[in-house]
Amino acid sequence: MAINRTSSHGEWSSRTAFILAATGSAVGLGNIWKFPYITGENGGGAFVLIYILCVIFIGIPIMLAEVYLGKRGRLNPIASIKYISEKENRSRNWQVIGLIGILAGILILSYYAVIAGWTMAYSVRTAFGTLNNIDAVGAATMFENLISDPERLLAWHTIFMIITTVVVARGVKSGLESAVVRLMPALLVLLLALVIFSSIEGKFYDGLRFMLYPDFSQVTWKTVLIAMGQAFFSLSLGMGALMVYGSYLSSDISIPQTCVIIALLDTIVALLAGLAIFPIVLSSGLEMTQGPGLIFQTLTVAFATMPGGQLFGTLFFILLIFAAWTSSISLIEPMIIWLIEKYNITRIRAATIAATFAWLIGIGTILSFNIGAEIKIFNMTIFELLDYLTSNILLPMGGIMITIFVGWLVAKENIDVELEIKSNILRFIWYFSARIIAPIAVIFVMLNALGLNLNIFS
């Protein structure tokens, strides 16, 4: 029988609502923007296979652990870890896990909202035909003109933050749940429409073959580390979002089954994004190894030269907006709950404070692309520093500490009561993955991201 505690902030009305919310948190620009281009840079099908294995043996075990902490604690991430630590007779210092998650989430949101603003700008431009018949030079110039204009970036950044704030200020059911149950199905419909468009107008078979045919001759240990990192970051692990969403989960819902469904949906979205993008890029004779510019430069050229490109290009950037929106909601929620519980303020006030904090930090990211590009901290722009701190230090550190805390310090019988994994084999696989495989893998990902020389992989 599961531990019966409830959140004072409300609960999801159903398992489906939680799945859509958690999937929305996981599905973001990382799936639709980053996954296709790193797949292109790392050999296609072999990378996809390694990525899926990493999701199974690294992503899902950490996700189960994080949702478990939220469901058992039923409070903000810091207070939940503190509560569980006391119940398990462990040091209260472990609550730093919650602090890392809250801090990482709000810092990521600060620059995530700026990039989301780019997608809003491009959706408007595509809809009004500004990108019609544009060539590679024109696409590069247009992108450069956008990011070099701080006033324009600030306007889009502000609009996106206001939209996010309005949703989260309304609460769990009226705000979060109401948004995700509409946005996620719409996102999937848009993505499927783009895949159909790609199958008609692009070289679909070539794109499918590139994604699914494994060429292990291109695989190195670097490829494996990149797949590990993408699996970890793609599922929104270590940033407190899943912990908070887990705290809204009713006691009768199975954590393992639900987490497997979320990971499956997240992976399907990433694969569909590849199937939507690669055939279009191939049919246009463009390179699939374009890095971050694949979306804002390469694809704009592809859409500009294809029949129906204006319509489907617009739909594509709207898809990116939806993906960014569902993720931003989850990024800000941990700080909102902490403010409410810590200072006993209303949700509207907490949402406003958290959003304002993220918005202000986001100005530093905006300036990093133009008039503040020469401002360097540790030889990095403000944007580069925020990205480095969150992606390479805070998130991996949070993931490592979550697996250690749940895997080694929480009593096994308490975990078994909540997770209710009936199969002895599956229970063994989860414990082994959570205790051994996941933390070691994330440590390697962290060391690699920090630029340390991993001689054993050379």
The pLDDT-based confidence of 248 (bands split at 50, 70, 90) is very high
| Mean pLDDT to the nearest integer, 68-79 | 95
123: which strand partners?
none
| Mean pLDDT to the nearest integer, 232-236 | 87
Confidence at residue 292, expressed as pLDDT on a 0 to 100 scale: 58
Confidence at residue 289, expressed as pLDDT on a 0 to 100 scale: 57
Structure tokens at 130: 């500004």
Confidence at residue 213, expressed as pLDDT on a 0 to 100 scale: 85
Q: Which pLDDT tens digit goes with each residue over 356-369?
A: 999 999 999 999 99
Q: What is the mean pLDDT of the chain?
A: 89
Q: Whole-angstrom Cα distance, residue 207 to residue 279?
A: 5
Q: Which pLDDT tens digit goes with each residue over 388-407?
A: 899 889 999 999 999 999 99
> What residues contact residue 182 under an 8 Å CB cut-off, 6+ apart?
none
The yes-or-no verdict on residue 296 having pLDDT over 50 is yes
Parse the chain into domains and list their residue ranges: 15-457
CA dihedral 176, 180, 183, 189 (to 10 degrees): 180
The model scores a pTM over 0.85: yes
The pLDDT-based confidence of 307 (bands split at 50, 70, 90) is confident
For the domain bounded by 15-457, which CATH number is listed? 1.10.4160
Q: Which pLDDT tens digit goes with each residue over 188-206?
A: 998 999 899 888 888 889 8
Q: Whole-angstrom Cα distance, residue 366 to residue 148?
A: 9
The yes-or-no verdict on residue 290 having pLDDT over 80 is no
Give the CA angle between residues 3, 8, 13 to the nearest 5°. 75
Crossing angle of helices 438-449 and 395-404, in 10° steps, is 160
The yes-or-no verdict on residue 458 having pLDDT over 50 is no
The yes-or-no verdict on residue 455 having pLDDT over 50 is no
The yes-or-no verdict on residue 207 having pLDDT over 90 is no
Confidence at residue 429, expressed as pLDDT on a 0 to 100 scale: 93
380: which strand partners?
377
Q: Whole-angstrom Cα distance, residue 427 to residue 422?
A: 7
Q: Whole-angstrom Cα distance, residue 183 to residue 192?
A: 14
If you count DSSP H runs as helices and E runs as strands, how many of each does the chain have, helices first?
23, 0
Structure tokens at 205: 């078979």
Give the CA distances from residue 264 to residues 23, 27, 191, 259, 268, in Å, rounded to whole numbers and listed in that order. 9, 11, 16, 8, 6
Q: Which pLDDT tens digit goes with each residue over 412-446?
A: 999 998 888 888 999 999 999 999 999 999 998 88
Confidence at residue 298, expressed as pLDDT on a 0 to 100 scale: 76
> What residues contact residue 406 under an 8 Å CB cut-off, 6+ apart?
65, 68, 69, 415, 434
H or E element that contains 117? helix 96-127
